[in-house]
Structure 1
Amino acid sequence: MKYSGWPDSGELVVGKVDEIADFGVFVDLEEYEDKRGLVHISEVASGWIKNVRDHVREGQTVVAKVLDVNKGSQQIDLTIKDVNEHQRKEKIQEWKNEQKADKWMAIAFGEDVSDEEYGTVANALLSEFDSLYDSFEQAAIHGIEVLEGVELDDDDLEAIVDTARQNVSVPFVNVTGYVDLRSPAGDGVDDVKEALKAAEGDGSVGDEIELSVTYVGAPEYRIKVKAPDYKTAESELEASVARAREAIEATGGTAEYHRERSGDEE
Structure 2
Amino acid sequence: MKYSGWPEPGELVVGKVEDIENFGVFIDLQEYDDKRGLVHISEVASGWIKNVRDHVREGQTVVCKVLSVDESSQQIDLSIKDVNDHQRKDKIQDWKNEQKADKWMLIAFGEDIADDEYAAIANELLDEYGSLYAGFEAAAIHGAEALEDTGLDDDEVSAIVESARENVSVPYVNVTGYIDLRCPAPDGVDVIKEALKAAGSDDDLSDDIELSVSYVGSPEYRIKVKAPDYKLAEDALESSAERAADSIEANGGSALYHRERHEDDE
Q: Which residue of 2 aligns with 1:27?
A: 27
**Aligned pair in 2 of structure 1 residues 264, 151: CA closer, same or farther (>3 Å)?**
farther
Q: 1:146 aligns to what?
A: 146
Partner of 2:131: 131
Counterpart amino acid of residue 241 in structure 2: V
Q: Hey, what does 1:91 align to over in structure 2?
A: 91
- Helix, strand or coil for the counterpart of 1:145? helix
Retained in 1: the 8 A contact 2:177–2:222?
yes
Amino acid at match of 2:97: N
Deviation at 1:170, TM superposition (A): 0.8
Deviation readout 1:105-124 (Å, 9 max, x if unpaired): 00000011110110111122
Runs of 4+ in 1 over 3 A off after TM superposition: 262-266
- Is 1:78 aligned to residue 75 of structure 2? no
Instruction: Quote the residue 1:192 is aligned against.
Output: 192
Q: Secondary structure at the match of 1:201?
A: coil
Tell me the equivalent position of 1:162.
162
Counterpart code for 1:94: D
Q: Which amino acid aligns with 1:191?
A: V
Output the amino acid matched with 2:234: E
Partner of 1:237: 237
- Give me the whole-angstrom Cα distance separating, in 1, the residues matched to 2:60 and 2:203: 51
Separation (CA, whole Å) in 1 of partners of 2:250 and 2:53: 76
- 1:153-205 C-alpha deviation (Å, 9 max, x unpaired): 21111000011111111111100011111111111111011001111134211
Partner of 1:3: 3
| Structure 1 position 37, deviation (Å) | 0.8
Q: CA–CA distance in 2 between the matches of 1:111 and 1:184?
A: 68
Instruction: State the percentage of identical aligned residues.
Output: 73
Shift of 1:262: 3.2
- 1:215-230 correspondence runs (5 A): 215-230=215-230
CA offset at residue 260 of structure 1? 2.3
Partner Cα separation in structure 2 for residue 159 and residue 182 of structure 1: 51
TM-score by length of 1: 0.96
Aligned residue type for 1:141: I
State the shift of 1:247 in Å: 0.8
Give the count of matched residue pairs.
266
Q: Deviations over 1:50-72 (max 9, x none)?
A: 11112111111111011111222
Return the offset for 1:143: 0.6
Asked if 1:251 is matched to 2:255, the reply is no
User: Could you say which residue in structure 2 is the equivalent of 1:100?
Assistant: 100
Distance 1:28 1:265, change over 3 A: farther
Judge which range, 122-131 or 20-29, deviates more: 122-131
| 1:45 match | 45
Partner SS state of residue 128, structure 1: helix
CA contact (8 A) 2:11 2:65 kept: yes
| Structure 2 residue ranges without an equivalent (≥5) | none
Match of 1:112 in 2: 112
Change (3 A) 1:118 1:231: same
Deviation at 1:218, TM superposition (A): 2.3
Q: Distance in 2 between matches of 1:139 and 1:112?
A: 23
